[in-house]
Amino acid sequence: MRGETLSYPISSMRTGETVTVDVQQHAPAVDPTAWVDEHGDYLFRYAMMRLRDETRAEDAVQEALLAAIQSISSYSGKASERTWLTGILKHKIVDYYRRAGNEQPLNGDDGELLAEVEKFFERDDVWNGHWNNKLQPHNWDTSPEATYQESEFFEVLQNCLSKLPDRVAGVFMLREMDGLDSSEICEILSVSNANFWVMMHRARLALRRCIEVNWFRKAVKH
Partner 1 sequence: MFKWGYKKVQRFFFVLILKYLPPCKDMIDIASASIDRKLTLRESIVLKLHLIPCKPCVRFIEQSKFMKQMMHEMESEEVSIPYKGTLSEEARERLKALLKSGAAGLGIVAGL
Interaction between residue 129 and partner 1 (CB under 8 A): yes
- Which of 12, 157, 187, 195 forms a contact with partner 1 (CB under 8 A)? 157
Site for partner 1 in 71-100 (CB under 8 A): 72
Percent helix, strand and coil across the chain, each to the nearest 5: 65, 0, 35
Asked if 140 contacts 219 with a C-beta cutoff of 8 angstroms, the reply is yes
Residues 6+ apart with CB under 8 A from 201: none
**Shortest gap between Cβ of 180 and partner 1 (angstroms)?**
11
**Shortest gap between Cβ of 145 and partner 1 (angstroms)?**
12
Interaction between residue 21 and partner 1 (CB under 8 A): yes
Residues 6+ apart with CB under 8 A from 94: 1, 3, 174, 188
Interaction between residue 139 and partner 1 (CB under 8 A): yes
Rounded to 10°, the helix 81-103/32-51 angle is 40
CA–CA distances in Å: residue 218 to residues 29, 119, 149: 54, 22, 19
Tell me the window of 4-12, 94-102, 106-114, 138-146 that interacts with partner 1 (CB under 8 A). 138-146
Interaction between residue 28 and partner 1 (CB under 8 A): no
Alpha carbon distance 68, 38 (integer Å): 15
- Which of 14, 56, 163, 208 forms a contact with partner 1 (CB under 8 A)? 208
Q: Which residues bind partner 1 (CB under 8 A)?
A: 21-24, 31-33, 35-36, 40-42, 44-46, 48-49, 54, 58, 61-62, 65-66, 69-70, 72, 121, 127-131, 136-140, 142, 147-148, 151, 153-155, 157-158, 173, 175-179, 182, 197-198, 200-201, 204-205, 207-208, 211-212
